[in-house]
Structure 1
Amino acid sequence: MRAPRGGRPVGRGTRRGLTALGLALALLTGACAQGSTGSADTSEASAPSAGARAAAAQERLAKNTLVPLEGEAPAPELPVTVDSSDGRKVTVTDTSRILPLNGGVAEIVFTLGLGDRVVGRDITATFEEAKKLPQVTKAHDVSAESVLSLEPTVVLADTDTGPGEAIDQIRDAGIPVVVLDPATELSDVTTRTTRIAEALGVPAAGRALNTRMSDELAAARAAVPEGSRPKVAFLYMRGSAAVYLIGGRGSGADSLLDAAGAVDAGTDAGLDRPFTPITTEALAQAQPDVILMMTKGLESVGGLDGLLRIPGIAQTPAGMNRRIVDLEDGVLLSFGPRTPLVIDILVDRVHRK
C-alpha cells in the first residue's frame, strides 16, 4: 500500500501569541534572511522561536489559502515536449485550460501563478481557491465524461490516477495528459515542482518556487531545539472503515519527521513497509513519545479519548502523556508549497515537553 495522501489510502494495486497577521507572515517568509549579517549573538536574538513560527503557520493553514509567487503571473513559453511517467513523450501546445487531477499538483499550479487557468479539480484539492471549481472525480476515481466536458487543453495526473480506461479516453480525445510520479517524501517536492513548471512552459517560475520553499524549509529546521529527538509514530486511521495502520519506512511521514528533528518510531522499530496494521506488540516495540495523525482520522475514532481506548495506545509514552498531534488531512502529506508550514508546526509541537 502506498502512503495515504490527501487523507485517503491509495491501493489500486499499483498505489497541516503573534500580535498581528503581518508579523506572522513576515516570520514565515523572512526568517532565513534575518541575522544573515552581523554577529552570531545578534542572529540568535533575532531568530523567531518555534512557537512563533508555528503560530504563523497555523494561522496560514486555518485560512486554507495559497500564496502565489510574487510579481506578475508567468507567461508560458510553448510548445514544450516533456517526459511523462507512463513512458510517453507529451507535447503541450496550450495551457489556457489546465486540469490537475491531484490536490497537491493543483496547489503547485496555483502557487506558480497559473490558478486562473485551472478549470476543474480533484476531490483532494480542498484549498479555498479551488473550492468553486467543478469536481471531476467520483469516489476518488476520475470521470472521463466530467473531464471532457470542461474542454481542458492539458491534464496533469499521477501514476495512481485512474481508472486507466478513463485516462485512455481523455488521451484518445486528443488532450495531452502528463503523468507524474507521486510525491511520497520531502525530497520529491523539488522534482515534482520542476516537472509541473516545465510541462506548463514556465520553468523559471518552477525554479523560483523551489528556491522559496527551500528557504522556508531551512528556516523551519533552524528552529529545532538542540539535543531533542522525540520518537513520533504516524498513525493512519479510519474508524468507520476499521483501518488502523502505523507508518514505517516510506510512509511519507518519516520524511517529514526527520526534517522536523524527530525520529519516526515505526521505522526505528524496524517496520520496513510504509504501513503496517496496528498491534499492541507493534506499539510496545515502537514506544512513541508523540503520536501524529490526520485530523479526520483522529475524529473517526472518537477523538483523543477514543484513540486511547484502542488496545496498546494508552500504554505508550505518548498515550500516557496524551501527546497527540493532528494536522489537516489535505495538508499533512501533500508535499507541496504548504509543506514548510507543516514542518513549522511539527517542529514546535513534537518537541514540547
Structure 2
Amino acid sequence: MKKFAGIWTALVLTAVLMTGCSGADSQSGSKAKQEPGSSEAFPVKIDDASKQDVTIKTEPKKIVSLMPSNTEITYALGLGDKVIGVTKNDTYPKEVKKVEKVGDMNVNVEKVISLKPDLVLAHESAISSSADAMKQLKDAGITVLTVNDAQSFQEVYQSIEMIGEATGAEDKAEKLISSMKSDLQEIKDKAKTISEKDEKTVFVEVSPAPEIYTTGKDTFMNEMLNVIHAKNAASGQTGWVQMTDEAIVKLNPDAIVTADGEKAADVEKRDGWNVINAVKHHNVYNVDPDLVTRSGPRLIEGVEELAESIYPDTFTK
C-alpha cells in the first residue's frame, strides 16, 4: 500500500497523518436548527466544523462527498442514489466505482461546479489545504458543509448526526447510531471476560517503513483498543506519530497490528525486530485499513477485526 494511503482514505494527516486535538462540542456540529417559522424539515441551519452557520434551504438531491468517511456515512443513510461525485480515494461501497471522481485530496473545483451539486460534504481535516477550493465553490453558490474530523466514537456519531440533519435523514441517522452502539456494547461485554493479567500490549502500524507511524492517545483507534481490553503500546504519545525502529523494539509489544497493507511476514523480517515478543511468537496481524482508519459506520467492524486478531479465543465467531 502506498505511504499514508490507509489514513488518507479515512481522514487527512496534514503534517503527520492527523491531529487529535479536536473538541467534540466545538467542532462536530451542533443540533440543526430550523429557520424561524418553518414547519418543515428544511431549511435547516447547522453549525459545522469550520465554525460557520451553514443554511441548507431545501432537501439536497445531488451530493458531492470530498472524504471517504463522509461517503460511507451518506450511503449508510440510504442516500447513495443522490451521490454524484466522490474522490479517487473512495472504495466503499462498491457502487462508488461508478460515481464521477472529483479529485483526491486536491479538489477539482471545475469538475465539482460542473456537476451542479446541492450540497458538498467537505471535511475538517482539509480546512487549511482546501480553503481556496471551498471558497470557489461557495462563490459559485454551492452549499458546502464541513464535517468534523472525528477522533472518538462519540465524534463519529456526531458526524453521522450532522450529515443526517443536512440531508433530511435524521431518523435514519439515529437508527444507524443506535445500531452501532448496540454492536459496540456486545463487543464490550465479551471483552469483560479478559482479565487484566491477560491483556495484551499492542503496537498498531498505520504507515509502513521506512517512516513508521502509529496511533497514540486521543484517537479513535486508541479507543478501539481500549474497548477490547488491549493496551496501546504507544499510549504515551498523542495523536498519530512517527516512531523509529529502536523506539518500537523498546516498546516490545505482545502483538503488532498493521493497518497499512504491510504483510505480517515482511514485518517479522525487519532488522532488529526479531527480539520483539510479537515477532518471536508470530503475533503480527494484518487488518483491513479502511475498517480501522475511516471514521464512519464500519468502525465497529474494525473493532471486531482487531478483537478477533488479538484475542481469537474470546472473539472469534
**Equivalent in the alignment of 1:235:** 205
**2:8·2:17 contact (CA, 8 Å) conserved in 1?**
no
**Equivalent in the alignment of 2:304:** 344
Q: Deviations over 1:156-209 (max 9, x none)?
A: 111123422111111111011011221222232211111111111222221111
| Match among 11, 14, 24 for residue 11 of structure 1 | 14
| Match among 94, 99, 106 for residue 141 of structure 1 | 106
The 1:231/1:335 distance shift into structure 2, 3 A limit, reads same
User: CA–CA distance in 2 between the matches of 1:244 and 1:13?
Assistant: 11
Gap runs ≥5 in structure 1: 16-75
**Equivalent in the alignment of 2:174:** 207
The 1:158/1:283 distance shift into structure 2, 3 A limit, reads same
Instruction: Report the alpha carbon displacement of residue 273 of structure 1 after superposing the two structures with TM.
Output: 4.5
**1:325·1:349 contact (CA, 8 Å) conserved in 2?**
yes
The 1:196/1:136 distance shift into structure 2, 3 A limit, reads same
Q: After superposition, where does 1:15-30 map in structure 2 within 5 Å?
A: 15=18
User: CA–CA distance in 2 between the matches of 1:160 and 1:219?
Assistant: 31
**Equivalent in the alignment of 2:151:** 184
Gap runs ≥5 in structure 2: 19-39
1:247 aligns with 2:250: no
**Equivalent in the alignment of 2:49:** 85
User: CA–CA distance in 2 between the matches of 1:252 and 1:103?
Assistant: 16
**Equivalent in the alignment of 1:163:** 130
Q: Which AA in structure 2 matches 1:258?
A: N
User: CA–CA distance in 1 between the matches of 2:64 and 2:190?
Assistant: 37
Q: Which AA in structure 1 matches 2:215?
A: G
**2:10·2:294 contact (CA, 8 Å) conserved in 1?**
no
**2:10·2:69 contact (CA, 8 Å) conserved in 1?**
no
Instruction: Report the alpha carbon displacement of residue 11 of structure 1 after superposing the two structures with TM.
Output: 1.6
User: CA–CA distance in 2 between the matches of 1:233 and 1:290?
Assistant: 6
**Equivalent in the alignment of 2:33:** none
Q: Which secondary structure state, in structure 1, belongs to the residue aligned with residue 79 of structure 2?
A: helix
**Equivalent in the alignment of 1:195:** 162
In the TM superposition, structure 1's runs of 4+ consecutive aligned residues that sit over 6 Å from their partners are none
User: CA–CA distance in 2 between the matches of 1:329 and 1:220?
Assistant: 20
Instruction: Report the alpha carbon displacement of residue 12 of structure 1 after superposing the two structures with TM.
Output: 5.3
Instruction: Report the alpha carbon displacement of residue 331 of structure 1 after superposing the two structures with TM.
Output: 2.0
Q: Which AA in structure 2 matches 1:284?
A: V
1:276 aligns with 2:279: no
Instruction: Report the alpha carbon displacement of residue 342 of structure 1 after superposing the two structures with TM.
Output: 1.3
**1:213·1:340 contact (CA, 8 Å) conserved in 2?**
yes
The 1:214/1:5 distance shift into structure 2, 3 A limit, reads farther
Q: Deviations over 1:78-120 (max 9, x none)?
A: 2211112112111112410011111111111111111111111
The 1:338/1:10 distance shift into structure 2, 3 A limit, reads same
1:323 aligns with 2:293: no
Q: Which secondary structure state, in structure 1, belongs to the residue aligned with residue 55 of structure 2?
A: strand
Provide the TM-score with structure 1 as the length reference: 0.73
Q: Deviations over 1:124-168 (max 9, x none)?
A: 321112111111114x21111121121110011111234221111
The 1:87/1:7 distance shift into structure 2, 3 A limit, reads closer
Q: Which secondary structure state, in structure 1, belongs to the residue aligned with residue 190 of structure 2?
A: coil
1:304 aligns with 2:269: no
Q: Which AA in structure 2 matches 1:10?
A: L
**Equivalent in the alignment of 2:229:** 261
Instruction: Report the alpha carbon displacement of residue 77 of structure 1 after superposing the two structures with TM.
Output: 2.9
**Equivalent in the alignment of 1:130:** 96
**1:223·1:347 contact (CA, 8 Å) conserved in 2?**
no
The 1:317/1:14 distance shift into structure 2, 3 A limit, reads closer
Q: Which AA in structure 2 matches 1:119?
A: I
User: CA–CA distance in 2 between the matches of 1:279 and 1:143?
Assistant: 38
Provide the TM-score with structure 2 as the length reference: 0.81
**1:283·1:312 contact (CA, 8 Å) conserved in 2?**
no
Q: Which secondary structure state, in structure 1, belongs to the residue aligned with residue 205 of structure 2?
A: strand
The sequence identity of aligned pairs, in percent, is 22
User: CA–CA distance in 2 between the matches of 1:286 and 1:12?
Assistant: 24
The 1:313/1:149 distance shift into structure 2, 3 A limit, reads farther
Q: After superposition, where does 1:28-177 map in structure 2 within 5 Å?
A: 77-92=41-56, 93-127=58-92, 128-138=94-104, 140-161=105-126, 162-177=129-144
**2:259·2:292 contact (CA, 8 Å) conserved in 1?**
yes
Q: Which AA in structure 2 matches 1:109?
A: T
